[in-house]
Amino acid sequence: MDFEHSPRVTELRNRLNAFMKEHVYPNEHTFAEQVQKNRWASPPIVEELKARAKAQGLWNLFMPGVEHGGAGLTNLEYAPLAEIMGRVFWAAELFNCSAPDTGNMEVFARYGTPEQQKKWLEPLLEGRIRSAYVMTEPNVASSDATNVELSIRAEGDEYVINGTKWFATGAMHENCQIFIVMGKTDPNNPNRHLQQSQVLVERGTPGMIIKRPLSTLGYWEEPHGHAEIVFDNVRVPKSNLLLGEGRGFEIAQGRLGPGRIHHCMRVIGAAQRALEYACKRVENRVAFGKKLSTQGSVREAIAVMASKVEMCRLLTLRAADKMDRVGNKEAKDLIAMAKIMVPQLGFEVIDMAIQMHGAGGLTEDYFLAEAFNYARWCRIADGPDQVHMMALGKQLIQELSAL
């Protein structure tokens, strides 16, 4: 057992931190201004910094293998890097490490045909296009993936797609070129896990209507956004099928583990930064005649905030380590623990940091309000906490009651 970073990770952390300090923190205001001008386009500052990061080799760090140009880091090695990226809401994309592209690239790498990889994985790995993962539906509890109702009907050489999806993250982005769409090709299959398939739909395919962006707690998360999408007799060639008919559920399962851990690490980064902001704030703010930092209640709060951040970090690293050793499926207990605890505790830390900033903490003058939204959203993204608690509880009762 050992809690120290390896030399390689230490080196990467140092370089990432330097990049953040030099290029990202000073440009937070620029990003906000550029986005305001052109909501769903990639802000110039993003493209500029992507080029810089790529040139420095801070690129595709998330990608486990090296065969597709990934950095070849383990989950345990990548986790502390994702934490650093999480300190600024839009930073992960600079290193081509942002959801949902990361998960989608893994899907292409693992399940795509050479043609599909050539056409979509390559430009994604190069950061030339963006992608969406179209899974959640407004009318069913989509955390149970077998519930999805979108119809994918085979007809000759084509699939015909009909239905409504929402919370397609990234789909508002005008450079989102490819949509991975989950639906049912065989809705009457007695095996509920073989009814689903995933097909690719290109931007601009007739009948695919990006209906509207969705906000979360007042945030529209430009420029990627979350979209509601209507599929009205959308036709794609059969070669757009991923992996095989009836294997959509399998792909969905394989995609989830790392994504959850990445979310956790980014929430931790946001919470750590909120803690640091809180410390600066209380050290520099006077109320009722003394610095806030001399208040016992403030010190107690800071101590608890830091303890929560550290516990979240350790839990997530432990989950990443287990994924590396025994695989995502076997590590599902620790992934679930991280998914349950980190967004909740991170949310509490950020909430307290806001409180210490007074009314200003709620505004866009600080990164806190947006981080608050991110942590809150993560308690629902990839399945609400309750779904993970139920599954984890069931598994633990089986295991521990048999001891």
Q: Does 218 bind a copy of itself (CB under 8 A)?
A: yes
Closest distance of CB 65 from a copy of itself, Å: 21
Contact between 284 and a copy of itself per CB under 8 A: yes
Give the whole-angstrom CA distance, residue 354 versus residue 294. Answer: 18
Residues 325-364 that bind a copy of itself (CB under 8 A): 325, 333-334, 336-337, 340-341, 351, 354-355, 358-364
In angstroms, what CA-CA distances link 80 with 6, 41, 83, 194, 204?
A: 11, 29, 5, 37, 38
Would you say 176 and 208 are in contact if contact means Cβ atoms under 8 Å apart?
no
**Rounded distance, CA 181 to CA 168, Å?**
10
Tell me the two tokens of residue 287. Answer: 């109320």
- Is residue 330 within 8 Å of residue 375, measured between CB atoms? no
Q: How far is the CB of 227 from a copy of itself (least distance, A)?
A: 12
Residue 156 or 218: the one with the smaller Cβ distance to a copy of itself is: 218
Return the exposure string of 131-144: e unless at least 16 CB atoms fall within 10 Å of the residue's CB, then b. bbbbbbbeeeebee
Q: Does 116 bind a copy of itself (CB under 8 A)?
A: no
Q: Of the two residues 233 and 395, which places its CB atom closer to a copy of itself in the complex?
A: 395
Give backbone dihedrals phi and psi of 347, rounded to 5 degrees, phi first.
Answer: -60, -45
CB 198 within 8 A of CB 182: yes
CB atoms within 10 A of CB 309: 24
Query: Which residues inside 260-279 make contact with a copy of itself, applying CB under 8 A?
Result: 275-276, 279
Q: Which of 113, 217, 233, 329 binds a copy of itself (CB under 8 A)?
A: 217
Kind plus residue range of the DSSP H or E element containing 384: none
Q: What angle do CA 61, 47, 115 make, to 5 degrees?
A: 60
When asked if residue 165 is in the footprint of a copy of itself (CB under 8 A), the reply is no
Selected binder of a copy of itself within 68, 293, 346, 366 (CB under 8 A): 293
In the complex, minimum distance from the CB of residue 307 to a copy of itself, in angstroms, rounded to a whole number: 4
Cα–Cα dist 295/117, whole Å: 58
How many positions of this chain bind a copy of itself (CB under 8 A)?
102
| 29 vs 238 by CB, closer to a copy of itself | 29
Q: Could you say whether residue 377 binds a copy of itself (CB under 8 A)? A: yes
Residue 103 vs 112, nearer CB to a copy of itself = 103
Residues 61-90 that bind a copy of itself (CB under 8 A): 76
Minimum gap (Å) between residue 302 Cβ and a copy of itself: 4
Q: Which of residues 129-158 bind a copy of itself (CB under 8 A)?
A: 136, 138, 140-144, 147
End-to-end CA distance of the chain: 25
* x/- track of binding to a copy of itself for residues 297-316 (CB under 8 A): xxxxxxxx-xx--xxx-xx-
Q: What's the closest the beta carbon of residue 171 comes to a copy of itself, in angstroms?
A: 14
Beta-carbon contacts of 246 under 8 Å, excluding residues fewer than 6 positions away, are 185, 186, 189, 194, 195, 196, 197
22 part of the interface to a copy of itself, by CB under 8 A: no
State in angstroms the smallest separation of the CB of 192 from a copy of itself: 10
Tokens of 395: 């598994």
Shortest reach from residue 247's CB to a copy of itself, in Å:
22
Question: Closest CB to a copy of itself among 190 and 296?
Answer: 296
Which of these ranges, 23-31, 125-133, 243-251, 318-326, lies near a copy of itself under the rule CB under 8 A?
318-326
